[in-house]
Chains A and B, each alone.
Chain A
Amino acid sequence: GQQVMQIPQYQHVQEGEDFTTYCNSSTTLSNIQWYKQRPGGHPVFLIQLVKSGEVKKQKRLTFQFGEAKKNSSLHITATQTTDVGTYFCNYGGSQGNLIFGKGTKLSVKP
């Protein structure tokens, strides 16, 4: 079956450093979504990528969807303590539900 792996599982950075998390799928994805969950909070939608090779930016966040639509990345430039949380890449299941992995847990040391 379809599997999406996200790496790394944990990332500790010093405030101001950059951060990248990667998602890799064994099969082609129709789209991919990114969510962020703060500690003690609920998942919050960040972005959806649909097109092959798509790149989208949100302030310090850059999202990419691979040409083959099998991988995606989220890059944060100059992390801040407000970036702390778990970042999930998700894809749609057959029922429209989101398939979550374990995500990448980001901690930022001030």
Chain B
Amino acid sequence: DTGVSQDPRHKITKRGQNVTFRCDPISEHNRLYWYRQTLGQGPEFLTYFQNEAQLEKSRLLSDRFSAERPKGSFSTLEIQRTEQGDSAMYLCASSLIRFQTGADTQYFGPGTRLTVL
């Protein structure tokens, strides 16, 4: 399977614990995005990378959230001191930027569903 993969698929944690999610994008893609989706809502943008550089972070991404893409390949999203409000599906998407015409085609992974008890 050469699509976007995410690990783990499900995570249950207690409030106050730290969690880390991993995303492996499609291999030739240079952009990687993180989104968060809660029930009944569309995905909300969190942050994105072009190669290894983190180019933008949403105001939704509090100081407890950090993301890395150390070698421009896979990415990790860490949430420190989790809160119940962090419970959501965390989606990763990747794309290949060829030219700037606005949004490019993004391919989503299956997501990591986080439940904070």
> Could you tell me which A residues sit within 8 Å of B by CB distance?
29-31, 33, 41-45, 48, 50, 88, 90-93, 95-103
- Nearest to A29 among chain B residues (CB) is B102
Contact of A45 among B42, B107, B110 (CB under 8 A): B107
Contact of B103 among A41, A42, A43, A97 (CB under 8 A): A97
Contact of B101 among A31, A42, A98, A100 (CB under 8 A): A31
A96 to B95, CA, bound (A): 10
B74 within 8 A of A: no
A33 to B43, CA, bound (A): 14
- Nearest to A98 among chain B residues (CB) is B103
Besides A45-B107, A97-B56, A102-B40, 14 new A-B residue pairs in contact (Cβ under 8 A), listed by A number: A31-B103, A42-B111, A43-B43, A43-B108, A44-B108, A45-B106, A50-B101, A88-B42, A95-B55, A96-B97, A97-B33, A97-B35, A97-B45, A97-B103
Query: 26 A-B pairs, CB-CB below 8 angstroms?
Result: A29-B102, A30-B101, A31-B101, A31-B103, A33-B103, A33-B105, A42-B91, A42-B109, A42-B110, A43-B43, A43-B91, A44-B108, A45-B105, A90-B103, A91-B103, A93-B45, A95-B45, A96-B102, A96-B103, A97-B35, A97-B56, A98-B33, A98-B103, A99-B45, A100-B35, A100-B42
